[in-house]
Amino acid sequence: MFMQIVKKKAFICFMSLLLVLFWVLSCEKDNTKQKRTIEDLTGKMPKGMVWVQTKTFLQGAKATDKYAMQREKPAHKVKVDGFFIDKTEVTNAQFKAFVAATNYVTVAERKIDWNALKKQLPSGTQKPHDSLLQPGSLIFNKHVKAVVGMQNYAQWWTWKSGANWRHPQGPKSSIQGKDDFPVVHIAREDALAYCKWANRRLPTEAEWESAALGNETATIFTWGNKQSMLNKNANTWQGVFPTKNIDKDGFKYLAPVKKYPPNSIGLYDMLGNVWELTNDLYNVNYYKELDTSKIIHNPKGASTSYSPTNPYQVEYIIKGGSFLCHESYCASFRISAKMGTSADTGSDHVGFRTVATKEMLQVDK
């Protein structure tokens, strides 16, 4: 009898082990099958990119977003087809490789053409002194001690001759040792030139929001809806804007990429650090003119640009906010937030990342 009990227990243990082994092998098989299915759908995964699956989501301001602005309303459902997107903003190292291969000269490195510039200004605008028409770009004034009101942003922005992607703060600065920082002082023309070289393109606003949401469909931030997690997840401004930054998040100004946790699909710095260029024209009335009774498939944005604050300029949407964003000013560390930037201007807090479709990547093979 004793031996029969022992044999019975041994048999039960053996069968249990077989079941566990079968379950493990089944899981591995399922995971392999899932991985192969993703590869079948997307083709070869491009280096440094992430696949954003096709999905329907709520674009624009969420109902519980206390910082939502009128240009982000009304929220509306969109469906965006799957695409690849860079894990990070384009870095100095990547842009350096592009310039080395093409000898490209950015807009900020070229002398300003007054005849071209005056077409974007009110009629009768006087030509500024030649010293102000030298190559350069906008930089944030880190030495502001006090401001009068928050409407005049010229109080904390300075035109710096000699500022460009190689010299972000002016001629005496450099990007040496900063290969993993986002490239800045990039105008739309520069970003498009890089995209052409790399066989990529700029994302639409809807694609950008789809990517920022990750596996979610209606959250305010890339990590969810809790603003209390901001400092752990994004490089923004803490303290008193624009006079005092106490860098609770670890960085006072620009940070290298990948210093904060990625979103649910592995994308870094979709909020904060630098604003990101998109391909959509900036029009404050665009959402209000949409037919929100139906799901909009792959929206391409407004057909014309319109901003009451810059009516003479053609502006494009930038997304994600930057290291300068603070709740007392722009509060643009949100997925739905957007601003406009002129096509021919860069600054030290605007960069970009690129996207690609399966069809585009066929050219790479």
pLDDT of residue 30: 41
Q: Are 319 and 338 in contact (CB under 8 A)?
A: yes
Identify the CA nearest to 105 among candidates 165, 180, 168: 165
For the residues 255-281, what does the mean pLDDT come to? 98
For the residues 22-49, what does the mean pLDDT come to? 54
pLDDT of residue 150: 81
* Alpha-carbon distance values, 11 to 3, 4, 6, 29 (Å): 12, 10, 9, 27
Q: In which band, very low, low, confident or very high, does the pLDDT at 10 lie, cut at 50, 70 and 90?
A: very low
pLDDT of residue 126: 85
Strand-strand pairing, 244-245 and 239-240: antiparallel
Mean pLDDT for the chain overall: 88
Q: pLDDT tens for residues 126-163?
A: 888 877 788 999 999 998 988 888 878 788 999 999 99
Question: Please, what is the end-to-end C-alpha distance for the chain in angstroms?
Answer: 70
Q: Are 115 and 333 in contact (CB under 8 A)?
A: no
pLDDT at 257 over 60: yes
Strand order in the sheet with 76-80: 55-59, 76-80, 296-297
Q: In which band, very low, low, confident or very high, does the pLDDT at 363 lie, cut at 50, 70 and 90?
A: low
Q: pLDDT tens for residues 118-127?
A: 777 778 888 8
How many whole angstroms separate alpha carbon 160 and alpha carbon 163? 6
Which of 79-83, 101-105, 111-115 is the least confident region? 111-115
Environment class of residue 360 by beta-carbon count within 10 Å: exposed (0-12), middle (13-18) or buried (19+)? middle
Q: Are 317 and 281 in contact (CB under 8 A)?
A: yes
Q: pLDDT tens for residues 54-100?
A: 999 999 999 999 999 999 999 999 999 999 999 999 999 999 999 99
pLDDT of residue 365: 54
pLDDT at 41 over 70: no
- pLDDT above 70 covers a percentage of the chain that reads 87
- pLDDT above 90 covers a percentage of the chain that reads 73
Instruction: Report the b/e string of 303-331 with b at 16+ CB within 10 A.
Output: eebbbeeeeebbbbbbbbbbbbbbbeebb
pLDDT at 25 over 70: no
pLDDT of residue 8: 41
- Which residues, listed in sequence order, are joined to residue 49 by a DSSP beta bridge? 86
Kind plus residue range of the DSSP H or E element containing 117 = helix 114-117
Three-class DSSP category at 265: coil
Q: Are 102 and 189 in contact (CB under 8 A)?
A: no
Q: pLDDT tens for residues 183-239?
A: 999 999 999 999 999 999 999 999 999 999 999 999 999 999 999 999 999 999 999
With tokens 């789809």, the residue in question is 210
The arrangement of secondary structure in 48-364, i.e. its CATH architecture, is Alpha-Beta Complex (3.90)
How many whole angstroms separate alpha carbon 29 and alpha carbon 38? 14
* Residue 107 DSSP code: G
Look at the alpha carbons of 219, 221, 224, 228 in this order and tell me if their dihedral is positive or negative: negative
How many whole angstroms separate alpha carbon 118 and alpha carbon 50? 41
pLDDT at 115 over 50: yes
Upper half-sphere CA count for residue 223 (Cβ side, 13 Å): 17
Q: What is the model's pTM? A: 0.86
Q: pLDDT tens for residues 312-359?
A: 899 999 999 999 999 988 899 999 999 999 999 899 999 999 999 999
How many whole angstroms separate alpha carbon 114 and alpha carbon 102? 27
How many whole angstroms separate alpha carbon 182 and alpha carbon 199? 19
Return the amino acid letter for 225.
N
Residue 44: Cβ within 10 Å count? 10
Identify the CA nearest to 271 among candidates 224, 239, 215: 224
Q: Are 255 and 268 in contact (CB under 8 A)?
A: no
339 CB-near residues (< 8 Å, 6+ apart): 275, 282, 317, 318, 330, 332
pLDDT of residue 96: 98
pLDDT of residue 44: 75
pLDDT of residue 24: 37
